[in-house]
Amino acid sequence: MSESRVLQGVGVAPPDRVNRRVRRYWNQHIHDLAISRHPPGSPGFFDDLDQYHFDKLHHLLRLVPFDGLAGKQVLDVGCGTGVDLVRFARGGARATGVDIADSAIALARQNVAYRGLHAHLLVADGEALPFPTEHFDYVFAHGVAQYTGNGRHLVEEVHRVLKPGGEAALQGYNRISWLNALSKLMKVDLEHEGAPVLHTYSPAEFRALVDVFPSVDLVFERFPVKSRLHGGWKGLAFNACFVGAFNALPRGMVTRYGWHLLALCRKSST
């Protein structure tokens, strides 16, 4: 089983009770909010989030077809402030974004408007998507499986709303990773350590989580980049020493220790 922690030991509670706590948390802790000095909702704020997001997750530009889905129905589950969503919309996709947090959807609407784009946005739980079966050509669920009450329900919903032959990208946290080990060694909390639910997976566990898909390519990503969130001597040591030393290692030696497990999935065409 994946390693997980659920607030107050309520892992056996009905998913709706757990996810009510998840909704309350994410309404108050918008992802990456702290990296910008501009007021939330301002153009500078959205530009900062976009720059930071793709600095840290530059592999997404290579692995996710942001510009290859023109005219296709695309769903971003857990869209947050819409950083990835606007990339799909800019590429011509018929983009839809959902998030469990009202505050995130409010900011995503502002982000889409600021870019002069169009997207359908609504508050919804990824474990109970309010869409017809076989509706989307592509589903992107990045940063959701680790924070939702039941990751299997999420995967099954993503699979349900995909058209036959449709593709999905689902991401989770790798328990056997450089960041998880460094967090324990340096006694520094993982980002959103205080979230009501935090799942981490071994690669085998994450592959089993998405086994409803007949075709899965599991990619290890998210290697050290300089942090803007941590200060003090630990932050200095990380940025000045660890990042360079780790990335100087041959990638073949460290690939399996990437913090992110990205499952690139395809639904059966029949």
In the chain (270 residues long), the average pLDDT of successive 10-residue segments reads 44 65 92 85 96 94 98 98 98 98 97 98 96 98 96 97 98 94 87 92 98 98 77 73 82 91 96
Structural domains of the chain, with CATH: 3-266 (3.40.50.150)
Global pTM reads 0.91
Helix (H) or strand (E) segment spanning residue 121: strand 120-123
What confidence score (pLDDT) does residue 1 get? 45
- Angstrom distance (rounded) from CA 91 to CA 138: 13
Structure token digits, residue 239: 């940025």
Helices 83-90, 102-114: axis angle to 10 degrees equals: 40
To which residue do tokens 């994946």 refer? 2
End-to-end CA distance of the chain: 31
Given this model, what pLDDT does residue 33 score?
A: 78
- Quick one: CA dihedral 177, 255, 31, 208, positive or negative? negative
Cβ count near 133 (within 10 Å): 10
- Residues 45 and 75 sit within 8 Å (Cβ to Cβ): no
Q: d(Cα 86, Cα 18) in Å, to the nearest integer?
A: 30
Query: Chain centroid to CA 249: how far?
Result: 26
Burial class of 200 by CB neighbour count within 10 A (0 to 12, 13 to 18, 19+): buried
Position 34 scores a pLDDT of 79
What pLDDT score does 35 carry? Answer: 85
What is the pLDDT at residue 231?
Answer: 66
CB 138 within 8 A of CB 75: yes
Quick one: how far is CA 254 from the chain centroid?
22
Query: At 174, phi and psi to the nearest 5?
Result: -90, 115
CB 218 within 8 A of CB 205: no
